[in-house]
Homo-oligomer: A and B are copies of this chain.
Amino acid sequence: MKIAVVGLGIIGGSYCKAIKKYTNHYVIGINRSPLPLEKAYNCGAIDKIGTVNDLSDVDLVILGVYPGAAVQFIRDNGDKIKKGAIVTDTSGIKTEICSDLTDLSHKYGFTFVGVHPMAGKEKNGFDVSDADLYKGASCIVIPCDAKEEAVKLVSDFNLSLGFGGIKISTPEEHDRMISFTSQLPHILACAYVLSPNCMNHKGFSAGSYRDVSRVANINAELWSELFLDNKKPLLKELDTLISNIQSMEDAISNNDKEKLMALLSKGHEIKEALGE
């Protein structure tokens, strides 16, 4: 295939590198600023520094930009995409973007399949992109109204890059689950490090501190957008979490060891049941 990757940050850049490392597809890079394109070309992550005019000749377009920018890019350039081409995004939220991009796919005659690669790092940009970023990770695929063969092509393509498995889902299920698995831990990590004791943790900390605080080194702009675009399920998760923390706090405050042990044991049982 001829593939265009739009946006050469960590996600798009890692797609380019993985495609060149693991497949024989031809990769065209498209990016607002020229520097990542030059870097990508020089290290062999792309075959060509492209422009939107190249879209008329590619089979697969991968949108590696922020959700809002992805929709805007297709609004601006959807008319240049080859009829029948497949477009996938890489966004961390789906309900709104899948609806918008499916509508645009009808308008411009391409096929849209939603994709969320469940991988990332605490750093951003092409410099930290990695051909093996997706190794073993889950790839969530949202068929929307794409035909089965397009969904299969997108799934097989992603598996060929090293993903550990494909999870087929709907936009609504995706956003509900992601609010729990990904968004909540990021909010938690940021809230956690705001404690006045955080700056003095060294010497007093080990794995628990490291793991809970890891993702606090956040890209505030990207995540604010993701949180606000997924407001409803996220607020529900936040309410659940605060209420569960509050229950434990109450048990501690009341010296209610039995209640406290019951709550903690539930946590233990869930992890055991999940085999974790």
Contacts and interface: CB of A to CB of B under 8 A. Distances in A.
A245 B242 contact: yes
A195 interface: yes
Assign chain A's interface to a size class.
35 or more
Contacts of A247: 191
Given A196-B240, A211-B185, A228-B252, A271 B217 contact: yes
B204 A267 contact: no
A205 interface: yes
Given A203-B140, A203-B165, A267-B193, A211 B209 contact: no
A237 B197 contact: yes
A6 to B, nearest CB: 23
Nearest to A246: B242
A26 B120 CA distance: 49
B263 A190 contact: yes
Contact of A224 (B223, B239, B260): B260
